[in-house]
Structure 1
């Protein structure tokens, strides 16, 4: 059986005609799934019963089960733990802004990248999520909050470019008119810097925002924070970023998680200025979240603001990411890790 959420409209049309059904039935099914939020074939009332039976025989609708909900004190951030059909747990975050609702989706169960400041990597990567499983997070959250999602960030658990084909298909489906029609300019993909895949993505000439998890402007320091830096140097990443900009005309966002005493000095800021000078880019400074396994501490407010001043003074457009959900451990992988640890403890008892 197939997860119908993995199918594009054209793929479902082809399946319909291959099985002797009318191709227009595919659009009717898509309308039930995405416009009416009906996830039971039996309730798709304008579909003939024999067609519904055929769909039930060949497809299932994989919406993950809600395990737990966390809500921030300010009621602007919601974190959901979801369980897929195989029992794997992922987490999804919804952030409410004046401009609309943003969702941070996971692309893998766990992650293989090993970044020291991220809890997603603890325990490694279990498996990739399919395009439909990523999409199901958006569908489930929309129904949960009773409001539309307007912005998508592929920045949850997992490395999106390590799951390239499924992520690309998800973006194309969620962007389509028959699905949720979320514009590509409202979608951000964050990567730790897999150079060949950045260049491959550039060839797609999509209008999404590419965000690079940089966190250091020199290889020696970056390798202590991100193992991927041992494979791809900063020079290689910058070259791929310039290639991406030339191909798409899109500005790149560089994420820089500020860690006290590690990468938050004036020298680090000036190194970053030198690296990004004259590039079409934006820097997003991120006060790092405390994770008990790595011992990293968040930079002081003064250091963060000073870092911002140095970059801005040299013409680098820079913002500080607004902290949302810190009271509910909303950083990547933290709640999943806490849930799995507590589950293990219960099983021991």
Structure 2
């Protein structure tokens, strides 16, 4: 059985990719994930704020003449400025595993995106995922201005590096498909659909905002399924599915709508890194039952473009769901 796929111009042994999470900070975890079937790994996002805070702290300590500066930044201080630890992680990961290592960058300024992306490439990252976690809470900012920001960031990074660049996007654009097409035309090598924004809750006892991390569940697969089905075959860039992957069934569903790769983290955080083998073996078992020899036999078979009149299909589907609900209610 041939499970191989292409993502961001890279040949992967199968479509299973470890998305960005703290699990990938540990080299032992990376080796185990590779042994269990992972075909590529996205390292955790490096945040521009963390880098700049590190630089600011060093400058403060040096300005104060504190001896702490020399313990905090030992030996060659200049080499420790900025994202040194992250760059070391990229190098160590490349040395430890044979699968592709993708860096993840979350910047805030044009300079930050360019500088850190360049350093990631130099450290050996085989691709970069731009995790543009941007909430447009400025009520005076238009949708067009928000979209232009994404395009500007992509073009700046693409102009600075020669390795593939993927855009990790949220589903909250007024026209997701048009945004993806625009970024595709601007040179994006692939798309990760979707990013999950972590909204706050309220603790009514303490009257305080609660910021906690909720792992995704398989019910969240439906929105990415919809948009991947609509985009598959209509963009040059690769498409990676993200969110809601708990079992091999979700992996297969994403492949049917046209995903080139399928990413997961929540399942691994819930069940441990060994769970990657469960996902891999489950994928193989499902394809065997379908008598599939090559993933290309199922990829995109249930995409929106695989049906005839797509506009009518969307409308009829909507009506059937509502009428079905009334009928069964």
TM-score tier (shorter): 0.3 to 0.5
Normalised to the residue count of structure 2, the TM-score between the two structures is: 0.42
Normalised to the residue count of structure 1, the TM-score between the two structures is: 0.40
Greater relative CO (CA pairs within 8 A, separation 6+): 2
